[in-house]
Structure 1
Amino acid sequence: MNEALDNSVPAHPDHLYTWVDVNNYFAELARGGLWPSWLREVDGYWDSVRFSVDPSVASTEAWSWIRSVLGPLTIDQERQLLLLDDAGRERPLAIEFVNANDIPSSDRQPRWTNRRVVAELAQPLPAPRPTPHDMPVVAFHSFKGGVGRTLHCVAAARRLADAGRRVLLIDADLEAPGITWMVAESTRMDFAYEDFLALVHGTIDQTYPEAISLGRKFLANQELDGVVVMPARRDRGRITPAQIEPVDLLTTDRDPYVLTEALAELGHALGVDAVLVDLLAGASELSAPLLLDPRVLRVFVTTISDQSVRGTAQILRELARRAPARQQTDPDCGLVVTQFNPLDHDGRLAAVATEPRSTDECRVGGTPETESAL
């Protein structure tokens, strides 16, 4: 790996207020491939920073590299301290070196926040196997709320059902479950996304027997003209946070793409033709396990506002880096532009379509399709 800094990473961090900033800065170095071969992991705590190093490396080499990336004024080698930004008083973190051979290998998971700062952050997540039963899983996402994401997800499900396809429609927005409110008065809600997550969480059997059998039993009563609806929760009146989240499934004894696997198995058991999922807006861990799975057809909904477009482009760049398409069957991303008026916005549409695919690094499996909705 390249052990020198380049223009993509600051020569030294602007501010180090706490150990959180220290971890974030070293994670940035790792993602940029700016990581020496002798360094296994950097782990910051409230009172110290631990560097897991190969025992064969000389301490002088380790200290030299640390000074080069943090700056000489941030390091007190004599006292073995990292000096945080202060306001008139010293705020040090002790620097500790531990044997890299005692550190387990990194377990990469489809999360936005990396639990461990390791060299592997420069590499994409491991490629998943083919989707079970070739079940199409489609996830609707938006950087901002209020852009029409849920409306388009429901409209897509309805369009497929009108064409004779059966669809499993899932409200995975566990913070503001819009689909749940839409259907609350028109269908029973005996089985919800939270139930499914908890049942999958409770087993390591990759056939997910309880989740599939209970889902097949109760979701049969939640079908509306070809659309099987799984609400976010059974009690729409509850506004407290969910007790179970998708990232809770990401344990070392499961496939890292367990959520897609389980949803595909459920769709197959229900006999549907596709699974459509409405995700929470923004870079949330509630959405990460599906967004970071290249087998999922990810449809991004945006208005023409600068914030929405640029945020969508940033999400695409992260996906291209972390979860690029590597199989012929991995679908391209989709882009839906909403709240578009050709009389006022015609000149802006081309720029909106260009921004998310302006560089090769922004491509996730291919060129996103662009649609406009009036």
Structure 2
Amino acid sequence: MTYPLTVPERLLTWLDVERVLKQKTQLWSYLPEGVHSVDCYHDGMDIAYSGEEAGVKDWLQTVFGKAFFHAPWQLHLRAGDGVYPIRLEQVEAAPRPHRLPLYPLWREVAYLDDAPDSTSAVFDLPHAFTDGPRMVSFHSFKGGVGRTTALMTYVTARLHPADAQGPVKVLVVDADLEAPGVTFWLDEKNRPQVSFVQFLEAMHYPPVSEEASLNFFAEQLKKTSLNVDGSQRELFVLPAALDLAEIQDMPVQPGHLARNPNNPWILTDHLHALGKRLGADAVFIDLRAGLSELASPVIFDPRVEHYFVTTVAKQSVSGMCEVLRRLHAFHRALPAPQRQAAKPSVVISLLTTDLRRLPDFGLAKECIEQAYPPVNDVLDEGVEWLEAEFSPSLMAIGSVRDAFDLLKKSSLYASSAQEWATTAAAARKVVENRTAPPINRIDSAQALLEVCKREYAEHSAIDDWLVTEPLRNLGKHFANDIPNAVLVGAKGAGKTFTYLQICQSRNWSNYLQRVGEMAHDAAVAQQRIIFPVLWSGNVDGAARATVGNAKDAGIQQLGLGTQALTLSEIQRQIEANLDSEARHWDDFWADLIAASLGCSGRGLQAINEQLSAQGQSVVLVFDGVEDVFKKPSDAKQTKAIESLLKLVNRLGELPNQSVGALVFVRIDYVQAAIKQNLGQFMSRFSAFALTWNPESFLRLAYWLCAKAGIVGATVDRAQTLSVGELIEKLIELWGHKLGQTDSKEGHSARWVYAALCDLTGRFQARDLVRFFRFAAEEETKNPNAFWAERILSPESMRKAIPRCSHEKVKEATLEIQPLRSWSERMDAENITERSIPFSASSVSLQADELTALRELGVVYEDLDPSLGEKRLFLPEIYRAGLRFDLSGGRPRIQALLKKNLGKMPF
């Protein structure tokens, strides 16, 4: 085993001394008080200081430890037991001299500190490009990993966008000045008489002017361009060199241009200007592999989109992680908008099915995620992840035209490059359309806010509804049979809203029509009266009237001469039986049904026979179980709930069944009441479980827009639009991505879904309503005119998530007893170290609570053995509300969701 060297052990030559000082001072940015300058030479170190000499001595002692001596002043060098003299010069106190800007070179960036509280050395930011081509670079730490192939995949996609209209032009620059790639793919007729080496020289030492040199190179490249699939698509290639001898003698290299004190970013400026003269839509730069100053001036330019290519091999991954660590340290000093735009992409190449199964694949992603973590947004990954499958045919590309033919069949082209090209074209359209009248964002946000303020289903208008898959399944399964099912859902899943919609239907035939189903015998379905027996005490206004009207209509149709029981009467009967247990709960529910319907007989069979004899049938609906049984873990209440849940079994056993039941209940009540064969019970009614999948998430978002009268949405189309059409329509609501259309930010629909769902992909409708409410509220308070083409800005959406989480937890702790117990225990025990991932013992989470919360989706357990004890995660919708942070490890939100769903939706 090897151990890290101490500073004294590292000092072999005077160059090691200089490295240590650069590291300790972050490239001379943090010299101690009184020390004005430090200069290291081969024959000794010169220190200019003011004040007391003792301060200098203490500082050197702290930095160099036992290698420092002050009688005489010197450092011990281990190579040959040498000494390195230290010369002191006392000067008058004066302001620190102005530093030269930090240059985009490895030798300087290597000393930037990536600590979260670090204020790294300042550097001059490059001027943003306001027009002209997009700048894109591809880099790898090792050669032979498919970097050039990945670059040409994106070039192919950009030249063949799906909705190409008008000419498309691309410039490729082979900037690998040690092992050129694209250069050797050129045919003689397409090989220009100029090279990248000559371009560097002409820009560094222009014979006349930079402008004249740029014009000359543009003219030369136009002579040898390639036309691809017609005259509308044109490719220009600037080869690395005209012959290999040229790169063996390079007086001017990229690093020379980067040392320009007035503009360290001048190389990118020149390449952008060249692309602009060619009318290019994009400039692709194939960079030299490794930690080379041939590549660093472009790698550290935040205006360039960076793609880094690696295999899962350890040496490739380790090198790539070092590149990304330095890039992350460099990017920390960028303003927030530029930092978001500078997000790199990592292509894991040459993948096979076997490689994916190896631990190396997971370890590679782990290492890279830690090297470039997200700065703020915990829902996104620090880098954009791309994967490229190994294909033997791509190993034998011999020309640019071969590349075009073969790369269209590659996995990277299909999974990423095509989308990139499409968004690139879309981004240009957005810019072109900025002159069009903007949408009325504030009025639209206000309209959405007003709709979502009616957050709770109990108070919602019920003139229309969104038919989701479980409701459609209910119609399919019971199109001809009398309905008999338990509808399970968490709080906010829409139980009460669905209950009210069924009540409003009055009879089963109407319900079937509303969900798009048809009974074989419409007359029979028409006779099936929907009758509310129990309902939530929270319903009010129009919702309460819906329940009352359904009861009155049912009583009138049945004609059994009874008066409707009030909810308070029903609650008193339940409370009385809880106290006395005078009747078995099976008998209690049968008696309550008889009293509600006005039947003279007692027992389910007698009720069924009486209705059957009169040619009547009824569908009983129950909701509000949580209102009358507030402690489902109490033994008496558990019996009552269990009996109600098994009512559908008893009804199903009746001959010539004329009575059915739909029982709406929260999932934690089912867990509390059904102690045996819970999985079997849940499976039996799984088709009707009130859960929301990614498709219904989009439909609900669109439906809410329709209710608000925004984005041109209509209620009826919420049922009929395809997923692709829904995504397209919702772009006006929340944009294509969380940044600009051509950014590497997360897709808006996917980001919101990941923020609101648990880590198995389940989400609650109320959380989306709540999210829209908070985001719209933020937008109306702080409108951002920059996002003129969308209603909700990324800033408003990000601010809404923590508010959603706090409201979610506040609500859930009242409803979910294990969550309430755990939360109260953490507060009572003053557990402030709450980091994700976590172990149960570290946050006082008991085994039975963990089991329950895992079933409810509040806690997720990752079974990856590499995590050790800390394998528990919280979905983002619970994290902030439970006051957990992510300092204990990488977020993995999207990664876990992707693993559990198989792939990310949308």
Which TM class, normalised by the smaller chain length?
A: 0.7 to 0.9
From the two aligned structures, give the one with the greater helix fraction.
Answer: 2
Greater Rg over alpha carbons, structure: 2
Q: Structure 1 residue 62 and structure 2 residue 56: aligned? A: yes
Q: Structure 1 residue 220 and structure 2 residue 222: aligned? A: yes
Q: Structure 1 residue 229 and structure 2 residue 237: aligned? A: yes
Deviation of the 1:313 alpha carbon: 1.4
1:367 aligned residue? 382
Deviation of the 1:282 alpha carbon: 0.7
Deviation of the 1:98 alpha carbon: 6.1
Deviation of the 1:103 alpha carbon: 7.9
2:196 aligned residue? 193
Indicate conservation of the 8 Å contact 1:309/1:356, yes or no: yes
Aligned-partner SS, 1:91: strand
1:326 aligned to which of 311, 314, 335:
335
Counterpart residue type for residue 223 of structure 2: N
Deviation of the 1:182 alpha carbon: 1.6
Q: Distance in 2 between matches of 1:363 and 1:228?
A: 37
**1:1-374 matches, cutoff 5 A:** 12-31=7-26, 35-53=31-49, 55=50, 57-71=51-65, 73-87=66-80, 89-97=81-89, 99=91, 104-107=97-100, 108-114=102-108, 122-131=120-129, 133=131, 135-163=133-161, 164=164, 165-183=168-186, 185-202=188-205, 208-225=210-227, 226-236=234-244, 238=246, 240-252=248-260, 254-324=262-332, 325-326=334-335, 328-329=337-338, 330-347=341-358, 348-358=360-370, 367-374=382-389
Distance change in 2, residues 1:124/1:340 (3 Å): farther
Q: Distance in 2 between matches of 1:369 and 1:279?
A: 19
Distance change in 2, residues 1:239/1:193 (3 Å): closer
Distance change in 2, residues 1:121/1:246 (3 Å): farther
Aligned-partner SS, 1:285: coil
Q: Identity rate of aligned residues, in percent?
A: 26
> After the TM superposition, which of the residue ranges 147-156 and 232-241 deviates more from structure 2?
232-241
Q: Distance in 1 between matches of 2:386 and 2:247?
A: 34
Deviation of the 1:26 alpha carbon: 0.8
Q: Distance in 2 between matches of 1:121 and 1:203?
A: 38
Indicate conservation of the 8 Å contact 2:196/2:238, yes or no: yes
Counterpart residue type for residue 25 of structure 1: V
Which protein, 1 or 2, shows the higher relative CO under an 8 Å CA cutoff with sep ≥ 6? 1
CA-to-aligned-CA distance 1:7-56 (integer Å, 9 cap, x gap): xx987442211110001111111229764243344321111012233x2x
Aligned-partner SS, 1:114: helix
RMSD: 3.2
Deviation of the 1:199 alpha carbon: 1.8
Deviation of the 1:155 alpha carbon: 2.3
Counterpart residue type for residue 365 of structure 2: A
Indicate conservation of the 8 Å contact 1:320/1:362, yes or no: no
Q: Distance in 1 between matches of 2:319 and 2:214?
A: 36
Instruction: Output the TM-score relative to the length of structure 2.
Output: 0.37
> After the TM superposition, which of the residue ranges 105-114 and 279-288 deviates more from structure 2?
105-114
Indicate conservation of the 8 Å contact 1:125/1:322, yes or no: no
Aligned-partner SS, 2:342: coil
Counterpart residue type for residue 149 of structure 1: R
Counterpart residue type for residue 328 of structure 1: P
Counterpart residue type for residue 70 of structure 2: Q
Q: Distance in 1 between matches of 2:308 and 2:376?
A: 12
Indicate conservation of the 8 Å contact 1:43/1:116, yes or no: no
Deviation of the 1:198 alpha carbon: 1.3
Distance change in 2, residues 1:34/1:13 (3 Å): farther
Unaligned runs of 5+ in 2: 228-233, 390-906
Distance change in 2, residues 1:102/1:46 (3 Å): farther
CA-to-aligned-CA distance 1:144-176 (integer Å, 9 cap, x gap): 111011121122212211235311100001111
Indicate conservation of the 8 Å contact 1:158/1:227, yes or no: no
Unaligned runs of 5+ in 1: 1-8
Distance change in 2, residues 1:70/1:212 (3 Å): same
Distance change in 2, residues 1:349/1:118 (3 Å): closer
From the two aligned structures, give the one with the greater strand fraction.
Answer: 1
Q: Distance in 2 between matches of 1:315 and 1:118?
A: 13
Deviation of the 1:77 alpha carbon: 1.2
Q: Distance in 2 between matches of 1:223 and 1:276?
A: 15
Q: Distance in 1 between matches of 2:256 and 2:215?
A: 21
CA-to-aligned-CA distance 1:106-153 (integer Å, 9 cap, x gap): 212111113999999932533222125253111100011110111211
CA-to-aligned-CA distance 1:163-202 (integer Å, 9 cap, x gap): 3531110000111111111215351221211122112212
Indicate conservation of the 8 Å contact 2:373/2:383, yes or no: no
CA-to-aligned-CA distance 1:53-99 (integer Å, 9 cap, x gap): 3x2x211111111112111x322312222222253x54333333364
Deviation of the 1:318 alpha carbon: 0.3
Instruction: Output the TM-score relative to the length of structure 1.
Output: 0.85
